[in-house]
Homo-oligomer: A and B are copies of this chain.
Amino acid sequence: MDNYNDHKKILLAVDCIIFGFDNQNLKILLIKRNFEPEKGRWSLMGGFLHTDENLDDAAIRVLNQLTGLHNIYMEQLRTYSAIDRDPVERTVSVAYYALINITEHTAEINENYSAKWFNIDEAPDLIFDHKLMVANAMLRLRRRALSKPIGFELLPKKFTMKQLQTLYEAILGETLDKRNFINKINALDILLKTEEKDMNSSRKGSYFYTFDEEKYKFKVSDGFTFRL
């Protein structure tokens, strides 16, 4: 009844919504397209699926090619298939979103490709349906931030409570009460307070914390669920 040969094959692409945090604002990394169509306009980082890789690998490859980064948190978002989403040829695109901590990787992010960070609310118009992808990624990020400790992917290894709170405020788009926020975080019991202080932000200095991934994993395997 169904035969593989009866069906047209089509191009499969991946597009990456790359989030970063500069201790102030949530940002996305965009590139200026250097090929047609829509050459010169801003776009998500994308590429086509190769036959010897799966989609996750393709997304990792694309991200690596355009930023030089390895070991980045990525997650499949959803697949976009509007018939005319790409004017040149029928292309279905699988969107991924990635979280990068900008501060530790500034050097590695390759500016050769005209890549540039934009504040999430100051991003330029994007080609195709990329704006929709970003909007969906933003919603997903918000949900995830409340149910998984993904925030730490966006921060340097050592960070202050203030940084963490500012990040969550940027992601959630609302201000949070300092005491309640710290109480919640401490109740989770997945951070290590270091001896070290950040002396740049204030005269008193504020302690650096690190995310205790071991402890977190152990607690999860013990039935614990992160919930902010």
> Hey, which bits of chain A sit against chain B, CB under 8 A?
1-4, 6-12, 34-35, 47-56, 76, 78-79, 81-83, 88-92, 94
Bound: A64/B89 CA distance, A = 28
Please determine whether B54 and A10 come into contact, CB atoms closer than 8 angstroms: no
CA A164 to CA B82, docked complex, whole Å: 36
For A81, what are the chain B residues with a Cβ–Cβ distance below 8 Å?
Answer: 49, 54-56, 94
The oligomer's copy count stands at 2
- Given A78-B78, A79-B79, A79-B94, are A51 and B8 also a contact pair (CB < 8 Å)? yes
Task: Tell me the complex Cα distance, A35–B2, Å.
Answer: 7
| Pairs A-B, 10 closest by C-beta atoms | A9-B9, A7-B48, A55-B81, A54-B81, A79-B79, A8-B51, A79-B94, A9-B10, A2-B35, A9-B11
Other A-B pairs beyond A9-B11, A79-B94, 20, CB < 8 Å: A1-B34, A1-B35, A3-B35, A4-B88, A4-B91, A7-B11, A7-B50, A8-B51, A9-B9, A9-B10, A9-B12, A12-B12, A12-B92, A49-B92, A54-B82, A55-B92, A76-B79, A78-B79, A79-B79, A81-B94
